Structure formats: C-alpha cells, structure tokens
Amino acid sequence: MLRIGLSQVTSSEDPAENLELIRAEVARAAAEGARVVVFPEAAMVRFGVSLKPLAEPVDGPWAKSVAAIAAEHDVLVVAGMFTPSDDGRVRNTLLITGLGQHLGYHKIHLYDAFGFRESDTVAPGADVVTTTVDDVTLGFATCYDIRFPELFRRLADMGASAIVVPTSWGAGEGKREQWDVLVRARALDSGCWVLGCGQADPAATGTPVNPKAPTGIGYSTVSDGFGRVHAQLGAGPELVVVDVDPQVTEKARAATGALANRRL
C-alpha cells in the first residue's frame, strides 16, 4: 500500500501565500500517514494572471522551499508550478520533490480548447515521467492530458501502478460530467489507479477570479483500474487521504486485458 494525500485547494495570485498553504496541507496529510502529497495544477499561482514574471526554474527559490517542506515531513510532494521556457513562454510544470528526488514534468498536451488557448503563453513538454516511492511506481499527467489515453498507456508500459493528475479544470456546461468520465476511463484504459487532484471551485469560498481562466471546479476523484471510485470530493477546499494498492492494478490488467490485447 502507498498512502497518498490529495489537497484540493484554491490557489491565490501570490506564490508566497500559496507556499504557506502547501506547508499547512503537507503537515495535515503527513499527520494522516501520507507518503505522497499531491496539490493541483497551478498550485504556485492560479491561472488568470500574467505567468511569465512569476515563473521560476525547478531549482529556484519557490521549488526549493517546497522541497524543504517535503524533507521536513519525509514525503514526496507534487505541486503545479510554472517554469521558464527558452521561447519566451513558460512551461506548465509539475514539481515532484522529496524522498531524495527533485524533478519536473512539463505538461505535454496544452489546453487549446473550449475557447481557451494555453499555448499562447505556455510551451508544451515532451518527456513522459515516472518515479518510484516505496516500490510503487507513479506516473504523472496534468489536467488536459487526461483526454489522451495514449499517455496513460505509455505510463503503464513504463511500470506505473498509479498516475497522479493535478488539474485546474475549466468550468462550463457538462465539464464536471466529462471530468467524472475521464478519470475512470483513463483508469480502465491503463489499469492504473488514477488520482485526479483539482483546484477547488473558487465560488465555494467566494474567491474572485478571472472568469475567462480555468480556475477549478473541485471534485477531485480517485479511481482504481476497474473504474471503481474510491474517493470523490465536493466543490470546496478539502483534503482526502487514500491507500493505493498496486496489486489491484495487476488484477485489473489481468481481468480486462486492455493492455495485453491491444492491436494498435
């Protein structure tokens, strides 16, 4: 078993303020025995503001501060941030730090959809990333990535038993229903546990945000490889801690044959 905490928060426009939120939430999750603590996409600073002036490398001061928090509590922390890109844009990056690791996953699929153009300000990544905690291999994806099953199958082929998916899901008609389906579908496609950790809905706490930006709807969801939902939060800020059993992944893959029976 690997105990993973999902911290569904509403990030502000201030990276320093968000760092203190991460500090408090890591302490809460670690007190419940979590070995991995996951925060949403854009945990460093929410969408809807200028990102380039706030972007820092994964060895910059904000990320190093998160690493110090992870070290203090002996956990792996996964948190969305923005890092500089050579082409003048930024990268939408998952910081993965703690337990002797410090790396980043750059979001591959950019949210040029539903009237939003992430690629105007964000450069895509290219590398598929996994890491291992207590003999359980974790894969990483970000928000819009969840619409692309090939990424999740690639992560499964690389040995992942669970895939964490930090998000800042865009609101709109049918968007929650799509989120519900996609988390379970990607779990079924790959046989993996899929742990989707979203930004809370700012409306739940009366937080004003840019209405044109994808700033979260809540409803963080955990599904196993059989498509069974083990946890789902509501719209507001909340913490959930779940136990991920990699043996369930093996059983799901053996039962469904969704990976072994591929022809394309």
Coil, helix or strand for 82? strand
Task: At 51, list the tokens.
Answer: 């990102």
Which residue type, as a one-letter code, is found at position 54? Answer: L
Distance CA 254, CA 227 (A): 14
How many domains are there within the chain?
Answer: 1
Using one digit for the tens of pLDDT, what is the confidence trace for 38-91?
Answer: 999 999 999 999 999 999 999 999 999 999 999 999 999 999 999 999 999 999
Lowest mean pLDDT among 42-46, 91-95, 112-116: 112-116
> Is residue 189 domain-resident?
yes
What ranges in the chain are assigned the alpha helix state H?
Answer: 15-31, 61-73, 149-157, 175-190, 246-256
> Is residue 262 domain-resident?
no
Q: State the DSSP H helix or E strand holding residue 116, giving kind and residue range, or none if neither.
A: strand 116-117
Range of the domain at 135: 2-256
Coil, helix or strand for 43? coil
Distance CA 63, CA 244 (A): 26
Contact 223, 187 (CB under 8 A): yes
Distance CA 234, CA 239 (A): 11
Give the residue numbers marked as catalytic: 41, 107, 143
Using one digit for the tens of pLDDT, what is the confidence trace for 8-18?
Answer: 999 999 999 99
> Is residue 195 domain-resident?
yes
* CATH code of the domain containing 239: 3.60.110.10
